[in-house]
Structure 1
Amino acid sequence: MKNAFLSRNHQYILLLVLFYFSSLAAQNYQKTAVGVKTKLQSMDVEVQFYSPSIVRVLKSPEGVAFKKESLSVNKKPQETKFTIQQKGDIVSMKTDKIEVELNLLTGKVSYLDLNGKSLFTEKDYGTQFTPIMDVKKNSFTVRQAFKLDQVEAIYGLGQLQNGKLQQRNQQVVLKNGNMNVSFPYFLSSKGYGVFWDNYAATTFTDNIQETSMESLGDCSDYYFMYGGSANGVVTQMRDLTGQAPMFPLWSYGYWQSKERYKNQQELMDVVAKYRELKVPLDGIIQDWQYWGKDSLWNQMGWDSATFPNPKGMADFVHKNNAHLMVVAWPGFGPETKQFNEFKDKKMLIDFDTWPPKSGAKPYDPYNPAARDIYWNYLNKGVFSIGVDAWWLDSSEPDHINVKDADFNQPTYLGSYRSVLNAFPLTHVSGVYDHQRATTSDKRVFILTRSAFVGQQRYGANTWSGDIQSTWESLGKQIPAALNFSLSGVPYWNADIGGFFAGRWKKDGGENNPEFRELYVRWLQFGTFTPMMRSHGTDIPREIYNFGKKGVWSYDAIEKNINLRYSLLPYLYSTAWEVTSQSASIMYALPLIFENDPKVRDINDEFMFGRSFLVAPIVKPMYTGKKEDKVFEDFSKTGSREVYLPEGANWFDFWTGEKLNGGQSVTKETPINIIPLYVKQGTILPWGPKVQYAEEKKWDTLEIRIYPGADGKFTLYEDENDNYNYEKGAFSTIKLEWNEQTKTVTIGKRKGSFNGMIKNRTFNIVLVDKEKGIGVSSTSNFNKTITYNGKAKSVKL
């Protein structure tokens, strides 16, 4: 009995001691200027407020020193008011937007709204560090586990070619490569986003037990962003990683390209042919091998046999009111000056890159001195002839004959393995920063094959890689684009027609009706992406290869190119919203119609700006094969089902028919029609018919009003191609529609710039089944308003 008593007494004393020390541990945290920090579970833990809505959580093994300067995040922690309250083992920090709880025993961090409702949480003991060697450096496999609600949807992860809009219930290695742009980031339908700030390949896992990120690294480092809505999260992501600058107006026009124009005369002939046909064109692209043989790959100079007068070529393009984009690569052939200079300065990453068997190696873009050298050559050999834009191909980069030792290669920031996903970010930033330092008269416009978080601030438009020319691939581009935009980067495009089209050559190539139908439908989709660019190999893509006027394929292509140009005032004004308000150009439906559960996983429709619902055709309707023979049959009109989201009523763009939201409709789809609906309350500025973006000033604009709800739109204008807008050289005109009084108000013009239109005409059209429908401008206006910058209102 005595021994039993002593045993119980010892247990009691032990419990008191444990309680005492756990209480001490529970009080062992330190308030900092931006949050709190503590030591627990053999970890150093810090919670930092970057704003009332953005929280950084940084965890590392206790006492392990490391230096972390984010490549993606350019925001600094701002002074944030927050209160701290401790209850037992829980330290609660509250701003005027969110509440963050830190469990001082388990290390779990949880996030709640101001009503105490759970938003997101780590798992207890959810941070793990497994020691490994990263070449000669002691490092870790870092794993952070979270717990999501089973019913919430998540989006993002960059651009994956998996055909999914929602990204739940999968495991995927997030590693940049041709066709996949990998972001360790997701956005939740609950109105928050999470960015795992790590540049190594990351394994993302989501299953019924947990959601986790796992990477090579020195620390667990992630940002929680609360937006209150999906759009709000995108806004927070831009606040954290940078805003997108304005592209020049001409960049939103039509671009023609192929793999490749073999000499300067061929390129000039394409521009001349478009002008002869009076088909609009704003950009022509010169792809690879203008430098000559592969051993001189990317020498940033011109082969004298095929491009004897590159400046004369650029001058010809400009004389014909078009713009020239030229390709540059991150790898260099062994006979180039760049290769040898980078090699001598230990600025090459020693693995094989494109082209195969050439001996080409990539430079080290993580090194600022290497970026200086890269630009010096690019500026002297290419930019100096009058090039307007860059195609930074293979920017992930291509990795050929892959060996594990390749990832051990040193870079300026550590092993290539530890930073590989950030290659495109540093590469693109070097070109952007140097061109901006060279001139402010020409906006940077970069087309690039890869990206990483934060790339939107470097004037880059990412395309989806060397995709196959198939209907399946076309269908996958829609959710790929939407998740890329959801990830905070608004500028995206794809090769219209798909890159590899050799499968269609057997039955006639450009004369193959099957390919023509696919190309037309792809071009219709491309009309409603941030960059409208035709490109591919195997089969030429210029419009005159698809027949002539009167041929269905030619006519459909021409119709949609003209539609794109009519939409330029709308698109350019939307681009200003991207720059000034963190808006998007392509919206997944859940971003705008969050209260409609039916849109959560619709992966074949999207919003173009906030007004247009676009439903691309992703299956053949008029061509095919019978008994191994290709046919085309237009005797019956095809159709597709379109869901019109609840929360708005809609106008059929082509007919003016008004339809209720919250229902599926069947739309007839002749070969020259893409299902297109306009939200009630839309005010649409309709541009003039032009051959290039700046051919005509917008001194006379048709303003289409889609009645049924109040509406507003801000028309934005500036000097089109310089950075004076950053100094305030732009103007805005607010247009408003009052549904109850049927009144249009043209607000007072704000701002000014050189060349601004002082007096103009607005032709107002109230859209119905007779007016303001389809691609044709109308002379049957409801009202005509002369405008000199002062506010005016008219009743319809």
Structure 2
Amino acid sequence: MPYKPSRNIVRLCVPSRTCKMLGILSIVAVITTAYAANTSIPSSTGIKLQNGFERVYIQPFGNNGIRVRASLLRDPTGNELSALLDPPLEGPGGNQGLAYDQLVGFQGNANLTNGNIAAEIATGYLSFYRIESNGSRTLLTSEFTDDKALYPRYYIQEYKSPSFSAEFSFTAEPDEQIYGVGQQACCKDNSVNKKGQSIDLINFNSFVPLPVYMSNKGYLQFFNMPSQGRMEFSPIRTRFVSSEATVVDYWITTAEPGDYDTLQEQYTAVTGRQPTPPTFTHGYQQSKLRYFNQTQVEDLAQEFHDRQINVSLIVIDFFNWKYQGDWSFDPEYWPDPAAMTAKVKELTGAEMMVSLWPSVEDLSVNYLTLQEQGLLATTRDGTGISDSFAGVYTRLIDSTNPASREFLWKRLNESYFSNGIHNFWIDQADGGTLGEAFENNGQTIETIPYARAFSQYFIGTQEGAGKMYPWLHQQAINEGLHNLTDTPATATSCEYMSLTRSTFAGGQRYCSYLWSGDTMAEFPVLLQQITSAVSVAASGISSWTLDLGGFTGLDIDTAYGKELYVRWFAMGVFLPYMRTHGDRICDIPPPTTPSNANYCPNEPWSYGEENYPILKMYIELRYKLVPYVTQLFAMLQNNGRTIMRALYFDFSLSDPFVASATAANDPLVSHQFMFGPRILVSPVGVQNATSKEVYLPRLTQAMLDQNYTWTHWWTNTSYGQGGASVNVSAPLDQIPVFYLGSMADILSGNI
């Protein structure tokens, strides 16, 4: 079937000007719905502050939201890279371009309200307020000023081009708590509250920082810019730093303190909502590094069939190709992919997924065509080589170029999709290099501190636009899947999915899910992953998973490795996706060919006879929970309701200890999470543990009105209304889990 470009284009336009079509796919409806009941008509179409050579536009956008754009010497074009949907799914402000009805000069004053949020310019400085139900105003944040301080809107002009670096500073409170900012890197950062941190805005393996955060003061702020830079959360100042920009673009919204679901609803209404994934992804997903030939995959399917174990997705990892950039099976090891997928489906009913990398080496069958047609990313000072792997230097396909995305998808269709493999694993596509924070990936000299490549793309430089590289790589798969399945771009459900290691804000509107990258196989990392998960979920990305057991360092022949795997596997039952993967260590020597092959097993029956029935039981439990998981994703699509929830989401108002413990990043609270509205999960992260101290939060009044109590999953023992720690037995086959209400309702998805 011929490739068609996205049928739903985000247009960022200035009235009376021709739109520049960015080709940014949204798979959610872009028809503006009726305003929320508590949202009034904005008081103004917008404000333009003409501050000498600086122009600042302030406009209502979305429910209870305000968008601000600042530029130097010239107006924003309206065509800048953006993750915002225009018009938003809900609320005012769509297709307004740079409209305004208030023009303010140097040190001027003006006001704008949109629902419950107000923006005020006083002597040229901007403040944001929440309008309370009684009509009073509460300051959320304002541009930071002091007797001696840099301007809150601070620019450093690049003399070679119209771009500049920028530092925008806002007031903060010393006791303010900050949540979100994407997914922290493995493996030492156990924070949920980011206050006091300085977070680099550059993507690499396991690190997916997103310039969006929620405050416990009742607001969410998003910097709609894919540039590298920093977010700084000091005691009295929050500062956003952009390495390269032509416009500084941010959005802010508000809700009552503690109402994080409304903040997420309003944020996802302007950046997009997760379409519901296909039901097969809610089951058990089997993967390892790596099944390296067709016979292994067919034998694996036969084993699942013979052992009568459910499996919903079987994954083929990297180097299924001959050369990087082929995006096709090496026929020496995969002679008949169509027959393989048919046999897997016949034996297990499972779908299949295959890995693809963005790297291209000179020997690839596609290399010359990609070079000649300008479809590879370049570098500022060389031939486009940005990294190396497996003994060769590599370049990146430029997925920010629509022609590159079309080329990539045609190859994926010819090699995989047409042979029955409909799901794609986007690996190493973090941008700039081949996925790591360093150069010379896979070489022994990787610790030499070379500067990262100065990668340049169709849409701009790595410094100015690089965080959108993985986002547009996801789009390549999304466009292809929608075209080949003839699914409209406005569809709110997915037939197939991609798995990605990186993304940008708004990535939740793709048929895609994020995983946390290459993690260490250690008990402390198991717990650290909880904080990564709830942080990225607070940034709008709930479609998330990880490598059960960790990626690196798990020896399946050791008691430590077996116990760790069972503990991690148990947690996987209560994640948005239950996916095992890893580069296992064992007593079996690796083969000499093909490269990067590993015989070590990673199947449920690989971790000892005593653990096999436990792992099988956990898989069975996951399938019992499929109706609940399905409902969680339906809620996520409908209103952006977060799936993996730090305890502050639901209990910061009802339980003072949850609030104070979250502020301090106390592991008693930060290493637990709510899986949807009815299940509390407290994984065991200590070797040889037989019991676990679990903190049960004090229930909200709404929960008490429904006669909820905390009930132990395994014994059905009631532990009351919470507000205290309890010690529960925690053998390997009983991960500490508590539920609210009726288990029958949970298992039926009636929540």
| TM-score normalised by the chain length of structure 1 | 0.76
Question: What is the rounded CA distance, in whole Å, between the counterparts of 2:627 and 2:76 in structure 1?
Answer: 53
Question: What is the rounded CA distance, in whole Å, between the counterparts of 1:375 and 1:547 in structure 2?
Answer: 42
Identify which of 127, 131, 134 aligns with 2:153.
Answer: 127
Question: What is the rounded CA distance, in whole Å, between the counterparts of 1:468 and 1:298 in structure 2?
Answer: 28
Shift of 1:96: 3.0
Is residue 556–residue 584 contact of structure 2 (8 Å, CA) maintained in 1?
no
Residue 519 of structure 2 is matched in structure 1 by 467
Shift of 1:471: 1.2
Q: How does 1:242-281 map to 2 (within 5 A)?
A: 242-281=272-311
Q: How does 1:160-199 map to 2 (within 5 A)?
A: 160-161=184-185, 162-199=189-226
RMSD: 2.5
Identify which of 325, 339, 344 aligns with 1:317.
Answer: 344
Shift of 1:195: 0.6
Residue 36 of structure 1 is matched in structure 2 by 47
Q: How does 1:333-732 map to 2 (within 5 A)?
A: 333-349=361-377, 350-353=384-387, 355-397=389-431, 398=434, 401=439, 407-440=453-486, 443-501=495-553, 504=554, 509-539=555-585, 540-548=601-609, 551=610, 553-595=611-653, 596-600=655-659, 601=662, 602-621=669-688, 637-647=690-700, 648=703, 649-659=709-719, 660-680=721-741, 684-686=745-747, 713=750
Shift of 1:360: 2.2
Cα deviation digits, residues 344-388 of structure 1 (max 9, x gap): 112212133452432221111111111111111111111110013
Question: What is the rounded CA distance, in whole Å, between the counterparts of 1:381 and 1:672 in structure 2?
Answer: 42
The aligned length equals 631
Unpaired runs of 5+ in structure 1? 1-30, 623-636, 687-700, 704-712, 715-796
Question: What is the rounded CA distance, in whole Å, between the counterparts of 2:45 and 2:369 in structure 1?
Answer: 45
Residue 359 of structure 2 is matched in structure 1 by 331
Letter matched to residue 275 of structure 2? P
Letter matched to residue 650 of structure 1? W
SS in 2 for 1:182: coil
Letter matched to residue 280 of structure 2? W
TM-aligned CA distance change 1:547 to 1:194, over 3 Å: same
Shift of 1:284: 0.7
Question: What is the rounded CA distance, in whole Å, between the counterparts of 1:406 and 1:342 in structure 2?
Answer: 23
SS in 1 for 2:745: strand
Is residue 34–residue 50 contact of structure 1 (8 Å, CA) maintained in 2?
no
Residue 101 of structure 1 is matched in structure 2 by 120
TM-aligned CA distance change 1:597 to 1:340, over 3 Å: farther
Residue 6 of structure 1 is matched in structure 2 by none
Is residue 470–residue 518 contact of structure 1 (8 Å, CA) maintained in 2?
yes
Cα deviation digits, residues 176-230 of structure 1 (max 9, x gap): 0001011011111122111111112121111123110101212221100223321
Shift of 1:246: 1.3
Question: What is the rounded CA distance, in whole Å, between the counterparts of 1:38 and 1:534 in structure 2?
Answer: 53
Shift of 1:536: 0.4
Question: What is the rounded CA distance, in whole Å, between the counterparts of 2:81 and 2:265 in structure 1?
Answer: 19
* Larger radius of gyration between Structure 1 and Structure 2: 1
Find out whether 1:47 has 2:58 as its counterpart. yes
SS in 2 for 1:150: coil
Question: What is the rounded CA distance, in whole Å, between the counterparts of 1:232 and 1:253 in structure 2?
Answer: 29
Question: What is the rounded CA distance, in whole Å, between the counterparts of 2:728 and 2:746 in structure 1?
Answer: 25
Shift of 1:404: 7.9
Residue 6 of structure 2 is matched in structure 1 by none
TM-aligned CA distance change 1:608 to 1:409, over 3 Å: closer
Shift of 1:417: 2.1
Letter matched to residue 54 of structure 1? G
Q: Which has the higher strand share?
A: 1
Is residue 639–residue 668 contact of structure 1 (8 Å, CA) maintained in 2?
yes
Q: Which has the higher contact order (CA 8 A, sep 6+)?
A: 2
SS in 1 for 2:144: strand
TM-aligned CA distance change 1:192 to 1:682, over 3 Å: farther
SS in 1 for 2:158: strand
User: Which moves more between the two structures, 558-567 or 121-130?
Assistant: 121-130
Find out whether 1:304 has 2:304 as its counterpart. no
Question: What is the rounded CA distance, in whole Å, between the counterparts of 1:174 and 1:198 in structure 2?
Answer: 10
| TM-score normalised by the chain length of structure 2 | 0.80
SS in 1 for 2:121: strand
Find out whether 1:60 has 2:71 as its counterpart. yes
Is residue 256–residue 283 contact of structure 1 (8 Å, CA) maintained in 2?
yes
Unpaired runs of 5+ in structure 2? 1-41, 95-99, 146-150, 378-383, 441-448, 488-493, 586-600, 663-668, 704-708
TM-aligned CA distance change 1:117 to 1:535, over 3 Å: same
Find out whether 1:91 has 2:110 as its counterpart. yes
User: Which moves more between the two structures, 435-444 or 580-589?
Assistant: 435-444
User: Which moves more between the two structures, 237-246 or 435-444?
Assistant: 435-444
Shift of 1:668: 1.3
Is residue 329–residue 392 contact of structure 1 (8 Å, CA) maintained in 2?
yes
Residue 239 of structure 2 is matched in structure 1 by 212
Shift of 1:62: 3.5
SS in 1 for 2:389: coil
